[in-house]
């Protein structure tokens, strides 16, 4: 799967950078190094939409409409209770939090297998305990080596084993889930955070693909309407990108701003999600 996703990631980077002039299929295919017909097939199979549709949503930057959708769907989801049933995530994604003791001990006694894999949004670094994925970040703003060091610092008492072969099927499952494609079995997460962070991340899982919410919406949703700044800090502390969708939170103005792994990557993720939902 990684071999098929590498040209998609390269194309997405190119289209994001050149979005204002709307490059065509032939130019994008040439940049990636494939024939137009083959590139079209590869992109649509891996991304779920055509390059043209992705570029349309990337250029539209329809954040206000997505915010309106997000507010209504998010409110309805939260009215059922954060632990209540909700669409795909509760069926295919299970999240387990570390115990308070394990959190304080920074992962002491845990073994984390980790590796790098090519995904639709570039090179990803993934770490997993026996209970699930505990880390998913992107190289680009920082190198693969820097991301690995950051993961090791975050889980500083854990034992780390570099094993790209072990991570490969986990990565494939994660990318399929994040791309709204068939996902074999349940995807399990093993999260580490304060009680407040966990509550914010649980709320993030209630935001459906194609919708956006503001930090104020999120603060209201968890019953802390005056805690937008603290909510923003908790969103920024999320270390399992894509799967815990911190990218679906933006400013009330509709501006796509700071993202730990790059604002352009956030734009690409949001555009692809919105294109997939509309397909």
Task: Tell the burial category of 79 from Cβ atoms under 10 Å away from its Cβ (0-12, 13-18, 19+).
Answer: exposed
**Is 134 noted as a catalytic residue in this protein?**
no
pLDDT at 187: 86
- Cβ 205 vs Cβ 232: under 8 Å: no
Say which residue, 94 or 241, is predicted with more confidence. 241
Taking only the tens place, the pLDDT of each residue in 138-196 is 998 789 999 999 999 999 999 999 999 999 999 999 998 887 766 666 789 999 998 89
Q: Helix 25-32 to helix 36-47 angle, to the nearest 10 degrees?
A: 90
Distance in angstroms (rounded) separating the CA atoms of residues 133 and 212: 24
* pLDDT at residue 83 in the model: 41
Catalytic residue among 9, 110, 209, 246: 246
**198 touches 97 (CB < 8 A):** yes
Side-chain-side CA neighbours of residue 111 (13 Å): 5
Listed in sequence order, the residues at least 6 apart from 178 whose beta carbon sits closer than 8 Å to its beta carbon are 119, 120, 242, 243
Q: Do the domains spanning 2-60 and 63-278 agree at the CATH topology level?
A: yes
Copy the structure tokens of residue 41: 């097939």
Tokens encoding 229: 């700044």
Q: Where are the domains of the chain?
A: 2-60, 63-278
* Tens-place pLDDT, residues 6-36: 899 999 999 999 988 899 999 999 999 999 9
pLDDT the model gives residue 71: 61
Mean model confidence pLDDT for the chain: 85
Spatial separation of the C-alpha atoms in residues 5 and 170, rounded to whole Å: 15
- Per-residue pLDDT at 36: 97
Neighbours of 223 (CB within 10 A): 11
Q: For residues 29 and 27, give the distance between their C-alpha atoms in angstroms, rounded to a whole number.
A: 5
**Structure tokens that stand for 28 in this block:** 């994008």
Given this structure, which CATH class describes domain 2-60? mainly alpha
Tally of CB atoms within 10 A around 111: 12
63-278 has which CATH code?
1.10.10.10
Q: Is the pLDDT of residue 77 over 60?
A: no
Determine the Cα–Cα distance for residues 92 and 82; give it in Å rounded to an integer.
Answer: 16
111-119 and 159-162 beta bridge pairing: parallel
Looking at the chain, the whole-number percentage of residues with pLDDT higher than 70 is: 85
User: Hey, is 104 helix, strand or coil?
Assistant: helix
């Amino acid at each position: 799967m990684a071999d098929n996703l590498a040209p998609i990631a390269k194309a997405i980077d190119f289209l994001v950078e050149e979005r204002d002039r709307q490059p065509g299929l032939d130019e994008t295919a040439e940049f990636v190094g494939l024939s137009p017909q083959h590139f079209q097939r590869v992109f649509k199979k891996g991304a779920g939409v055509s390059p043209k549709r992705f570029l349309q949503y990337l250029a539209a930057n329809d954040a206000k409409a997505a915010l309106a959708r997000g507010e209504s769907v998010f409110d309805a989801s939260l009215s059922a209770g954060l632990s209540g049933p909700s669409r795909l995530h509760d069926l295919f994604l299970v999240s387990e939090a570390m115990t308070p003791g394990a959190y304080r001990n920074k992962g002491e006694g845990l073994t984390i297998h980790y590796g790098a894999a090519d995904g639709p949004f570039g090179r990803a670094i993934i770490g997993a305990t026996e209970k699930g994925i505990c880390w998913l970040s992107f190289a680009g703003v920082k190198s693969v080596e820097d991301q690995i060091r950051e993961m090791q610092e975050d889980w500083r008492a854990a034992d780390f084993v570099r094993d790209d072969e072990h991570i490969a099927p986990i990565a494939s499952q994660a990318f399929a889930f994040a791309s709204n494609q068939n996902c074999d079995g349940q995807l399990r997460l093993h999260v580490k955070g304060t009680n407040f962070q966990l509550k914010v991340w649980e709320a993030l899982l209630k935001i459906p693909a194609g919708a956006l919410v503001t930090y104020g919406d999120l603060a209201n949703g968890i019953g802390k309407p005056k805690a937008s700044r603290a909510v923003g800090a908790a969103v920024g502390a999320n270390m399992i990108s894509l799967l815990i969708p911190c990218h679906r939170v933006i400013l009330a103005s509709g501006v796509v701003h700071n993202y730990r792994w790059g604002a352009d990557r956030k734009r690409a993720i949001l555009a692809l999600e919105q294109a997939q939902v509309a397909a």
